[in-house]
A and B are shown apart, each in its own frame.
Chain A
Amino acid sequence: MSIREIDVSAVREAVARLCVKANTELDPALYEALRKASAAEVSPVGRSILCQLVENAGIARATGTPICQDTGLAVVFATVGQDVHFTGGSLEEAIHAGVAEGYTAGYLRKSVVGDPLRRTNTGDNTPAIIHYRVVPGDGFEITVAPKGIGSENMSRLFMLKPSQGADGIREAVLTAVREAGASACPPLVIGVGVGGSFEKCAQLAKEALLRPIGQNSADPFWADFERDLLERVNRLGIGPQGLGGTTTALWLAVEPYATHIGGLPVAVCLNCHVARHESAVL
Protein backbone atom coordinates (compact mmCIF):
# COMPACT_ATOMS: atom_id res chain seq x y z
CA MET A 1 0.00 0.00 0.00
CA SER A 2 1.36 3.36 -0.98
CA ILE A 3 1.23 6.71 0.73
CA ARG A 4 -0.20 9.61 -1.29
CA GLU A 5 1.30 13.05 -0.80
CA ILE A 6 -0.81 16.20 -0.85
CA ASP A 7 0.80 19.61 -0.66
CA VAL A 8 -1.10 21.74 1.84
CA SER A 9 -1.04 24.68 -0.57
CA ALA A 10 -3.61 22.74 -2.64
CA VAL A 11 -5.78 22.53 0.48
CA ARG A 12 -5.44 26.27 1.07
CA GLU A 13 -6.45 27.08 -2.49
CA ALA A 14 -9.42 24.71 -2.37
CA VAL A 15 -10.69 26.16 0.91
CA ALA A 16 -10.41 29.73 -0.41
CA ARG A 17 -12.35 28.82 -3.54
CA LEU A 18 -15.03 26.92 -1.60
CA CYS A 19 -15.59 29.85 0.83
CA VAL A 20 -16.44 32.14 -2.06
CA LYS A 21 -18.50 29.59 -3.99
CA ALA A 22 -20.55 28.57 -0.95
CA ASN A 23 -21.40 32.20 -0.21
CA THR A 24 -22.38 33.25 -3.70
CA GLU A 25 -23.90 30.19 -5.37
CA LEU A 26 -27.03 28.76 -3.80
CA ASP A 27 -27.25 24.96 -3.94
CA PRO A 28 -29.28 24.19 -7.13
CA ALA A 29 -31.51 21.76 -5.22
CA LEU A 30 -32.35 24.48 -2.69
CA TYR A 31 -32.98 26.93 -5.50
CA GLU A 32 -35.48 24.47 -6.97
CA ALA A 33 -37.10 23.97 -3.58
CA LEU A 34 -37.47 27.74 -3.18
CA ARG A 35 -38.95 28.08 -6.64
CA LYS A 36 -41.51 25.35 -5.98
CA ALA A 37 -42.37 26.86 -2.62
CA SER A 38 -42.88 30.30 -4.17
CA ALA A 39 -45.59 28.81 -6.34
CA ALA A 40 -47.19 26.70 -3.60
CA GLU A 41 -47.16 29.23 -0.74
CA VAL A 42 -50.65 30.27 0.34
CA SER A 43 -49.83 33.64 1.92
CA PRO A 44 -49.41 36.53 -0.55
CA VAL A 45 -46.77 38.22 1.64
CA GLY A 46 -45.03 34.84 1.91
CA ARG A 47 -45.11 34.39 -1.86
CA SER A 48 -43.59 37.78 -2.46
CA ILE A 49 -40.79 36.98 0.01
CA LEU A 50 -40.06 33.61 -1.61
CA CYS A 51 -39.98 35.26 -5.04
CA GLN A 52 -37.49 37.78 -3.66
CA LEU A 53 -35.30 34.91 -2.44
CA VAL A 54 -35.43 33.19 -5.84
CA GLU A 55 -34.47 36.42 -7.57
CA ASN A 56 -31.80 37.09 -4.94
CA ALA A 57 -30.13 33.73 -5.59
CA GLY A 58 -30.02 34.52 -9.31
CA ILE A 59 -28.46 37.95 -8.72
CA ALA A 60 -25.89 36.51 -6.30
CA ARG A 61 -24.80 33.86 -8.78
CA ALA A 62 -24.64 36.31 -11.69
CA THR A 63 -22.80 39.11 -9.88
CA GLY A 64 -20.72 37.27 -7.30
CA THR A 65 -22.41 39.24 -4.51
CA PRO A 66 -22.94 37.07 -1.42
CA ILE A 67 -26.43 35.57 -1.11
CA CYS A 68 -26.60 37.05 2.40
CA GLN A 69 -24.40 39.66 4.09
CA ASP A 70 -23.82 37.34 7.04
CA THR A 71 -21.21 35.21 5.33
CA GLY A 72 -20.83 33.27 8.52
CA LEU A 73 -18.38 31.38 10.62
CA ALA A 74 -16.35 29.07 8.37
CA VAL A 75 -17.18 25.54 9.49
CA VAL A 76 -14.94 23.01 7.75
CA PHE A 77 -15.30 19.23 7.56
CA ALA A 78 -12.12 17.42 6.49
CA THR A 79 -12.31 13.72 5.65
CA VAL A 80 -8.77 12.43 5.55
CA GLY A 81 -7.69 9.08 4.15
CA GLN A 82 -5.28 7.38 6.53
CA ASP A 83 -2.81 6.81 3.67
CA VAL A 84 -2.42 10.52 2.95
CA HIS A 85 0.71 12.38 3.92
CA PHE A 86 0.53 16.17 3.93
CA THR A 87 3.61 18.09 2.82
CA GLY A 88 4.60 21.74 2.69
CA GLY A 89 3.42 22.74 6.16
CA SER A 90 0.59 22.36 8.63
CA LEU A 91 -2.78 21.13 7.32
CA GLU A 92 -4.62 23.06 9.99
CA GLU A 93 -2.80 26.31 9.22
CA ALA A 94 -3.48 25.81 5.51
CA ILE A 95 -7.21 25.55 6.21
CA HIS A 96 -7.19 28.77 8.27
CA ALA A 97 -5.10 30.51 5.59
CA GLY A 98 -7.58 29.38 2.93
CA VAL A 99 -10.44 30.90 4.92
CA ALA A 100 -8.56 34.20 5.33
CA GLU A 101 -7.78 34.25 1.61
CA GLY A 102 -11.31 33.41 0.52
CA TYR A 103 -12.99 35.94 2.82
CA THR A 104 -10.59 38.71 1.89
CA ALA A 105 -10.28 38.20 -1.88
CA GLY A 106 -13.97 37.30 -2.19
CA TYR A 107 -15.26 40.49 -0.50
CA LEU A 108 -16.99 38.44 2.19
CA ARG A 109 -17.82 39.88 5.60
CA LYS A 110 -15.39 39.24 8.43
CA SER A 111 -17.61 38.30 11.34
CA VAL A 112 -15.26 36.57 13.79
CA VAL A 113 -14.08 37.93 17.14
CA GLY A 114 -10.96 36.35 18.60
CA ASP A 115 -12.23 36.07 22.16
CA PRO A 116 -15.89 35.57 23.08
CA LEU A 117 -15.82 38.22 25.83
CA ARG A 118 -13.13 40.69 24.75
CA ARG A 119 -14.55 40.63 21.21
CA THR A 120 -11.93 42.08 18.90
CA ASN A 121 -12.57 41.24 15.25
CA THR A 122 -9.78 39.04 13.89
CA GLY A 123 -10.04 40.86 10.57
CA ASP A 124 -9.97 37.85 8.25
CA ASN A 125 -12.79 35.59 9.49
CA THR A 126 -10.35 33.11 11.05
CA PRO A 127 -10.11 30.84 12.88
CA ALA A 128 -12.23 28.29 11.07
CA ILE A 129 -14.06 25.61 13.03
CA ILE A 130 -12.62 22.33 11.81
CA HIS A 131 -13.95 18.79 12.17
CA TYR A 132 -11.65 15.96 11.04
CA ARG A 133 -12.59 12.40 10.23
CA VAL A 134 -9.99 9.79 9.39
CA VAL A 135 -11.11 7.07 6.98
CA PRO A 136 -9.41 4.17 5.15
CA GLY A 137 -7.73 4.86 1.80
CA ASP A 138 -5.78 7.73 0.31
CA GLY A 139 -8.60 10.16 -0.48
CA PHE A 140 -9.07 13.66 0.91
CA GLU A 141 -12.34 15.53 0.86
CA ILE A 142 -12.92 18.97 2.29
CA THR A 143 -16.28 20.69 2.82
CA VAL A 144 -16.74 24.34 3.74
CA ALA A 145 -20.10 25.11 5.38
CA PRO A 146 -20.27 28.81 6.35
CA LYS A 147 -22.90 29.34 9.05
CA GLY A 148 -24.71 32.63 9.76
CA ILE A 149 -25.34 33.50 13.38
CA GLY A 150 -29.04 34.42 13.03
CA SER A 151 -30.00 30.79 12.69
CA GLU A 152 -27.09 29.39 14.73
CA ASN A 153 -28.25 31.44 17.73
CA MET A 154 -31.63 29.69 17.58
CA SER A 155 -30.23 26.14 17.41
CA ARG A 156 -30.89 23.95 20.46
CA LEU A 157 -29.71 20.86 22.30
CA PHE A 158 -32.16 18.85 24.41
CA MET A 159 -31.11 16.00 26.68
CA LEU A 160 -34.35 13.96 26.68
CA LYS A 161 -35.22 10.86 28.66
CA PRO A 162 -35.62 7.64 26.64
CA SER A 163 -39.28 7.50 27.75
CA GLN A 164 -39.98 10.74 25.86
CA GLY A 165 -39.38 8.83 22.62
CA ALA A 166 -40.49 9.96 19.18
CA ASP A 167 -42.99 12.46 20.58
CA GLY A 168 -40.24 14.06 22.62
CA ILE A 169 -38.04 14.43 19.55
CA ARG A 170 -40.85 15.98 17.53
CA GLU A 171 -41.74 18.39 20.33
CA ALA A 172 -38.07 19.41 20.67
CA VAL A 173 -37.85 20.28 16.97
CA LEU A 174 -41.18 22.14 16.94
CA THR A 175 -40.16 24.07 20.07
CA ALA A 176 -36.89 25.18 18.47
CA VAL A 177 -38.67 26.28 15.29
CA ARG A 178 -41.46 28.07 17.17
CA GLU A 179 -39.07 29.92 19.44
CA ALA A 180 -36.87 30.91 16.51
CA GLY A 181 -39.83 32.58 14.81
CA ALA A 182 -38.49 35.11 12.33
CA SER A 183 -34.98 35.14 13.80
CA ALA A 184 -33.57 32.25 11.80
CA CYS A 185 -34.89 33.75 8.55
CA PRO A 186 -37.42 31.08 7.54
CA PRO A 187 -37.87 29.23 5.19
CA LEU A 188 -35.56 26.95 7.15
CA VAL A 189 -33.40 23.99 6.40
CA ILE A 190 -33.33 21.85 9.56
CA GLY A 191 -30.70 19.36 10.67
CA VAL A 192 -31.59 17.08 13.59
CA GLY A 193 -29.16 14.93 15.51
CA VAL A 194 -30.61 12.09 17.61
CA GLY A 195 -28.52 9.99 19.98
CA GLY A 196 -24.80 9.86 20.66
CA SER A 197 -23.49 12.04 23.47
CA PHE A 198 -23.84 15.76 24.23
CA GLU A 199 -21.22 16.85 21.66
CA LYS A 200 -21.77 14.05 19.14
CA CYS A 201 -25.45 14.92 18.93
CA ALA A 202 -24.75 18.54 18.00
CA GLN A 203 -22.31 17.40 15.35
CA LEU A 204 -24.86 14.95 13.93
CA ALA A 205 -27.31 17.82 13.52
CA LYS A 206 -24.71 19.79 11.56
CA GLU A 207 -23.82 16.77 9.45
CA ALA A 208 -27.48 16.25 8.64
CA LEU A 209 -27.35 19.62 6.86
CA LEU A 210 -24.63 18.30 4.55
CA ARG A 211 -26.86 15.60 3.10
CA PRO A 212 -28.15 16.50 -0.39
CA ILE A 213 -31.50 18.30 -0.24
CA GLY A 214 -34.29 15.94 -1.24
CA GLN A 215 -32.48 12.78 -0.21
CA ASN A 216 -34.26 11.29 2.77
CA SER A 217 -32.56 8.86 5.15
CA ALA A 218 -31.50 5.51 3.68
CA ASP A 219 -33.28 3.89 6.62
CA PRO A 220 -37.03 3.79 5.75
CA PHE A 221 -37.96 4.24 9.43
CA TRP A 222 -36.06 7.52 9.67
CA ALA A 223 -37.09 8.60 6.16
CA ASP A 224 -40.74 8.41 7.26
CA PHE A 225 -39.88 10.24 10.46
CA GLU A 226 -38.24 13.05 8.47
CA ARG A 227 -41.16 13.46 6.06
CA ASP A 228 -43.71 13.51 8.85
CA LEU A 229 -41.72 16.00 10.94
CA LEU A 230 -41.22 18.38 8.00
CA GLU A 231 -44.97 18.39 7.46
CA ARG A 232 -45.58 19.17 11.12
CA VAL A 233 -43.10 22.04 10.99
CA ASN A 234 -44.94 23.48 8.01
CA ARG A 235 -48.25 23.28 9.87
CA LEU A 236 -46.93 25.75 12.46
CA GLY A 237 -47.95 28.65 10.20
CA ILE A 238 -44.77 30.65 10.86
CA GLY A 239 -44.13 31.04 7.14
CA PRO A 240 -41.48 32.94 5.18
CA GLN A 241 -39.69 35.44 7.44
CA GLY A 242 -42.14 34.62 10.25
CA LEU A 243 -44.86 36.65 8.53
CA GLY A 244 -47.25 33.72 8.25
CA GLY A 245 -47.65 30.99 5.67
CA THR A 246 -47.32 27.36 4.75
CA THR A 247 -43.58 27.40 3.97
CA THR A 248 -41.74 27.39 7.29
CA ALA A 249 -39.09 24.85 6.26
CA LEU A 250 -37.87 23.66 2.88
CA TRP A 251 -36.13 20.58 4.14
CA LEU A 252 -35.46 18.52 7.25
CA ALA A 253 -32.91 15.73 7.73
CA VAL A 254 -32.29 13.53 10.78
CA GLU A 255 -29.00 11.78 11.59
CA PRO A 256 -29.39 9.11 14.27
CA TYR A 257 -26.55 7.42 16.16
CA ALA A 258 -26.14 4.83 18.89
CA THR A 259 -26.58 6.21 22.39
CA HIS A 260 -26.54 5.25 26.07
CA ILE A 261 -29.33 3.08 27.53
CA GLY A 262 -30.26 6.00 29.81
CA GLY A 263 -30.30 8.89 27.34
CA LEU A 264 -31.93 10.43 24.27
CA PRO A 265 -30.03 13.55 23.20
CA VAL A 266 -31.67 15.64 20.47
CA ALA A 267 -29.92 18.52 18.71
CA VAL A 268 -31.76 20.87 16.38
CA CYS A 269 -29.53 22.83 14.04
CA LEU A 270 -31.58 25.52 12.38
CA ASN A 271 -30.37 26.95 9.13
CA CYS A 272 -31.91 29.57 6.90
CA HIS A 273 -32.45 28.84 3.20
CA VAL A 274 -28.80 29.86 2.72
CA ALA A 275 -27.69 26.40 3.83
CA ARG A 276 -24.23 26.69 2.41
CA HIS A 277 -21.86 23.82 1.85
CA GLU A 278 -19.38 23.19 -0.93
CA SER A 279 -16.94 20.30 -1.20
CA ALA A 280 -13.79 19.46 -3.08
CA VAL A 281 -11.93 16.18 -3.45
CA LEU A 282 -8.17 16.41 -3.75
Chain B
Amino acid sequence: MKDMKYTAGTDNGRTAEPETRRLHAPFSREVIRSLHAGDTVLISGTVYTARDAAHKRLCEALAAGEALPFDIRNAVIYYVGPTPPRPGQVLGAAGPTTSGRMDAYAPTLMDAGLAAMIGKGDRSEAVIDSMRKNTAVYFAATGGAGALLSKCIIASETVCYEDLGTEAVRRLTVQDFPATVVIDCEGTDLYKTAPAQYRKEG
Protein backbone atom coordinates (compact mmCIF):
# COMPACT_ATOMS: atom_id res chain seq x y z
CA MET B 1 0.00 0.00 0.00
CA LYS B 2 2.90 2.32 0.70
CA ASP B 3 3.57 3.31 -2.90
CA MET B 4 0.03 4.49 -3.41
CA LYS B 5 -0.24 6.30 -0.13
CA TYR B 6 -1.68 9.73 -0.70
CA THR B 7 1.12 12.17 -0.16
CA ALA B 8 -0.29 15.34 1.33
CA GLY B 9 -0.70 16.29 4.94
CA THR B 10 1.23 18.12 7.56
CA ASP B 11 2.46 15.12 9.51
CA ASN B 12 6.15 14.67 9.92
CA GLY B 13 7.95 12.18 7.79
CA ARG B 14 5.53 12.31 4.91
CA THR B 15 7.09 13.25 1.63
CA ALA B 16 5.72 13.96 -1.79
CA GLU B 17 6.02 11.29 -4.47
CA PRO B 18 8.38 12.42 -7.22
CA GLU B 19 5.58 13.41 -9.58
CA THR B 20 3.86 15.54 -6.94
CA ARG B 21 5.02 19.16 -7.10
CA ARG B 22 5.07 21.52 -4.17
CA LEU B 23 3.78 25.00 -4.95
CA HIS B 24 3.88 28.14 -2.90
CA ALA B 25 0.83 30.43 -3.22
CA PRO B 26 0.51 33.05 -4.59
CA PHE B 27 2.27 31.78 -7.74
CA SER B 28 3.85 33.71 -10.58
CA ARG B 29 2.55 33.41 -14.14
CA GLU B 30 5.79 31.60 -14.93
CA VAL B 31 4.88 28.85 -12.45
CA ILE B 32 1.37 28.71 -13.91
CA ARG B 33 2.78 28.24 -17.40
CA SER B 34 4.73 25.23 -16.14
CA LEU B 35 1.62 23.46 -14.81
CA HIS B 36 -0.16 20.92 -16.99
CA ALA B 37 -3.54 19.25 -16.72
CA GLY B 38 -3.06 16.03 -14.76
CA ASP B 39 -0.23 17.27 -12.51
CA THR B 40 -0.78 16.55 -8.84
CA VAL B 41 0.45 19.27 -6.50
CA LEU B 42 0.69 20.18 -2.83
CA ILE B 43 -0.10 23.84 -2.25
CA SER B 44 1.29 25.84 0.67
CA GLY B 45 0.86 29.55 1.35
CA THR B 46 -2.05 31.96 1.16
CA VAL B 47 -5.41 31.29 -0.46
CA TYR B 48 -8.70 33.17 -0.16
CA THR B 49 -12.12 31.56 0.23
CA ALA B 50 -15.18 32.74 -1.69
CA ARG B 51 -18.44 31.21 -2.86
CA ASP B 52 -21.38 32.55 -4.92
CA ALA B 53 -22.49 35.38 -2.65
CA ALA B 54 -18.95 36.73 -2.10
CA HIS B 55 -18.22 36.53 -5.83
CA LYS B 56 -21.30 38.58 -6.54
CA ARG B 57 -20.13 41.30 -4.14
CA LEU B 58 -16.56 41.30 -5.46
CA CYS B 59 -17.82 41.75 -9.02
CA GLU B 60 -20.22 44.50 -7.96
CA ALA B 61 -17.32 46.33 -6.27
CA LEU B 62 -15.24 46.07 -9.44
CA ALA B 63 -18.15 47.31 -11.56
CA ALA B 64 -18.53 50.31 -9.25
CA GLY B 65 -14.82 51.05 -9.61
CA GLU B 66 -14.13 50.33 -5.94
CA ALA B 67 -10.98 48.72 -4.56
CA LEU B 68 -11.39 45.08 -3.52
CA PRO B 69 -11.06 44.21 0.19
CA PHE B 70 -7.95 42.11 -0.59
CA ASP B 71 -5.23 42.15 -3.23
CA ILE B 72 -6.52 39.94 -6.01
CA ARG B 73 -3.41 40.22 -8.18
CA ASN B 74 -1.89 36.72 -8.52
CA ALA B 75 -4.27 35.49 -5.81
CA VAL B 76 -5.66 31.99 -5.42
CA ILE B 77 -9.36 31.57 -4.59
CA TYR B 78 -10.68 28.37 -3.01
CA TYR B 79 -14.39 27.69 -3.47
CA VAL B 80 -15.39 26.41 -0.02
CA GLY B 81 -18.09 26.81 2.62
CA PRO B 82 -16.71 25.07 5.72
CA THR B 83 -18.57 23.62 8.70
CA PRO B 84 -18.16 25.58 11.95
CA PRO B 85 -14.93 24.78 13.82
CA ARG B 86 -15.02 22.78 17.02
CA PRO B 87 -13.25 24.52 19.90
CA GLY B 88 -9.54 24.49 19.12
CA GLN B 89 -9.99 23.91 15.39
CA VAL B 90 -9.08 26.48 12.70
CA LEU B 91 -12.03 25.47 10.51
CA GLY B 92 -14.34 22.50 10.37
CA ALA B 93 -14.64 20.26 7.31
CA ALA B 94 -13.46 22.28 4.33
CA GLY B 95 -13.68 20.45 1.01
CA PRO B 96 -14.40 22.15 -2.32
CA THR B 97 -17.81 23.17 -3.56
CA THR B 98 -19.05 23.01 -7.17
CA SER B 99 -17.12 25.57 -9.23
CA GLY B 100 -19.70 25.96 -11.98
CA ARG B 101 -21.72 28.30 -9.78
CA MET B 102 -18.81 30.77 -9.92
CA ASP B 103 -18.49 30.65 -13.72
CA ALA B 104 -20.49 33.84 -14.21
CA TYR B 105 -18.02 35.80 -12.06
CA ALA B 106 -14.63 34.12 -12.61
CA PRO B 107 -13.68 35.90 -15.90
CA THR B 108 -14.20 39.32 -14.28
CA LEU B 109 -11.95 38.36 -11.37
CA MET B 110 -9.28 36.92 -13.70
CA ASP B 111 -9.30 40.19 -15.66
CA ALA B 112 -8.62 41.90 -12.31
CA GLY B 113 -5.62 39.65 -11.62
CA LEU B 114 -6.90 36.37 -10.13
CA ALA B 115 -4.37 33.67 -11.04
CA ALA B 116 -5.77 30.41 -9.74
CA MET B 117 -8.99 28.75 -8.61
CA ILE B 118 -9.52 25.62 -6.53
CA GLY B 119 -12.86 23.82 -6.61
CA LYS B 120 -14.55 20.79 -8.09
CA GLY B 121 -16.37 20.07 -11.33
CA ASP B 122 -16.14 21.43 -14.85
CA ARG B 123 -15.96 25.04 -16.04
CA SER B 124 -17.68 26.88 -18.86
CA GLU B 125 -16.02 27.71 -22.18
CA ALA B 126 -16.06 31.39 -21.17
CA VAL B 127 -14.03 30.60 -18.05
CA ILE B 128 -11.56 28.47 -20.01
CA ASP B 129 -11.15 31.25 -22.62
CA SER B 130 -10.45 33.73 -19.86
CA MET B 131 -7.91 31.34 -18.32
CA ARG B 132 -6.05 31.17 -21.64
CA LYS B 133 -6.17 34.93 -22.03
CA ASN B 134 -5.05 35.66 -18.46
CA THR B 135 -2.66 32.70 -17.96
CA ALA B 136 -4.67 31.28 -15.07
CA VAL B 137 -4.99 27.74 -13.71
CA TYR B 138 -7.83 25.68 -12.23
CA PHE B 139 -7.22 22.97 -9.66
CA ALA B 140 -9.60 20.35 -8.32
CA ALA B 141 -9.47 19.39 -4.68
CA THR B 142 -11.14 16.17 -3.60
CA GLY B 143 -14.87 16.59 -2.95
CA GLY B 144 -15.78 14.60 0.12
CA ALA B 145 -12.35 14.93 1.74
CA GLY B 146 -13.46 17.77 4.03
CA ALA B 147 -11.85 16.48 7.22
CA LEU B 148 -8.50 15.81 5.57
CA LEU B 149 -8.41 19.16 3.76
CA SER B 150 -9.33 20.91 7.00
CA LYS B 151 -6.10 19.57 8.51
CA CYS B 152 -4.13 21.24 5.70
CA ILE B 153 -5.52 24.64 6.73
CA ILE B 154 -3.33 25.96 9.53
CA ALA B 155 -4.68 29.51 9.90
CA SER B 156 -7.80 31.42 8.92
CA GLU B 157 -8.89 35.02 9.33
CA THR B 158 -12.01 36.69 8.02
CA VAL B 159 -11.22 39.36 5.44
CA CYS B 160 -14.68 40.73 4.61
CA TYR B 161 -18.40 40.00 4.21
CA GLU B 162 -18.62 38.50 7.69
CA ASP B 163 -22.43 38.75 7.43
CA LEU B 164 -22.33 35.94 4.87
CA GLY B 165 -21.42 33.38 7.56
CA THR B 166 -19.95 30.25 5.97
CA GLU B 167 -19.68 32.27 2.72
CA ALA B 168 -17.54 35.11 4.15
CA VAL B 169 -14.16 35.76 2.47
CA ARG B 170 -11.36 34.27 4.55
CA ARG B 171 -7.60 34.41 4.16
CA LEU B 172 -6.30 30.89 4.73
CA THR B 173 -2.79 29.68 5.32
CA VAL B 174 -2.55 26.20 3.86
CA GLN B 175 0.19 23.63 4.10
CA ASP B 176 0.60 20.75 1.65
CA PHE B 177 -2.96 21.08 0.44
CA PRO B 178 -3.45 18.30 -2.18
CA ALA B 179 -4.90 19.27 -5.55
CA THR B 180 -4.84 18.25 -9.20
CA VAL B 181 -4.35 20.60 -12.14
CA VAL B 182 -7.56 20.06 -14.10
CA ILE B 183 -7.52 22.93 -16.57
CA ASP B 184 -4.17 24.51 -17.42
CA CYS B 185 -3.49 27.91 -18.96
CA GLU B 186 -3.53 26.40 -22.43
CA GLY B 187 -7.10 25.28 -21.88
CA THR B 188 -6.43 21.54 -21.68
CA ASP B 189 -9.26 20.10 -19.59
CA LEU B 190 -8.69 16.83 -17.74
CA TYR B 191 -12.44 16.37 -17.24
CA LYS B 192 -12.74 16.09 -21.02
CA THR B 193 -9.56 14.16 -21.80
CA ALA B 194 -9.10 11.70 -18.91
CA PRO B 195 -12.36 9.70 -18.82
CA ALA B 196 -11.95 8.80 -22.51
CA GLN B 197 -8.69 7.01 -21.66
CA TYR B 198 -10.44 4.65 -19.28
CA ARG B 199 -13.76 4.23 -21.12
CA LYS B 200 -14.67 0.69 -22.15
CA GLU B 201 -18.10 1.17 -23.61
CA GLY B 202 -20.06 -1.15 -25.80
Interface residues of A (CB under 8 A from B): 38-39, 42-45, 47-49, 51-57, 59-60, 63-71, 107-109, 121, 150, 181-183, 185, 235-239, 241-246, 272-274
Contact A48 to B121, CB < 8 A, known contacts A67-B147, A235-B199: no
CA separation between A242 and B4, bound complex, in Å? 19
B120 near A68 with CB under 8 A, answer: no
Q: Which of B38, B93, B190, B197 contacts A69 (CB 8 A)?
A: B93
B194 near A64 with CB under 8 A, answer: no
Encode contact with A along B116-160: 1 for CB under 8 Å, 0 otherwise.
000011100000000000000000101111111111000000000
Contact A109 to B191, CB < 8 A, known contacts A183-B98, A237-B196: no
| B195 at the binding interface (Cβ < 8 Å) | yes
Which residue from chain B places its CB closest to the CB of A71 in the assembled complex?
A: B83
Encode contact with A along B91-106: 1 for CB under 8 Å, 0 otherwise.
0111101101000000
CA separation between A38 and B1, bound complex, in Å? 9
**Which one of B40, B145, B200 has the highest number of Cβ atoms from chain A below 10 Å of its Cβ?**
B145
A51 near B6 with CB under 8 A, answer: yes
B4 near A272 with CB under 8 A, answer: no
CA separation between A65 and B94, bound complex, in Å? 10
CA separation between A64 and B92, bound complex, in Å? 10
| B187 at the binding interface (Cβ < 8 Å) | no
B199 near A236 with CB under 8 A, answer: yes
B191 near A181 with CB under 8 A, answer: yes
A183 near B4 with CB under 8 A, answer: no
In the complex, what residues of B have CB within 8 A of residue A109's CB? Answer: 81-84, 92-93, 166
A69 near B82 with CB under 8 A, answer: yes
A243 near B140 with CB under 8 A, answer: yes
Contact A273 to B144, CB < 8 A, known contacts A43-B194, A236-B195, A237-B199: yes
Encode contact with A along B1-36: 1 for CB under 8 Å, 0 otherwise.
100111111000000000100000000000000000
CA separation between A67 and B144, bound complex, in Å? 7
In the complex, what residues of B have CB within 8 A of residue A51's CB? Answer: 4-6
| B44 at the binding interface (Cβ < 8 Å) | no
In the complex, what residues of A have CB within 8 A of residue B196's CB? Answer: 237, 244
| B85 at the binding interface (Cβ < 8 Å) | yes
CA separation between A169 and B36, bound complex, in Å? 39
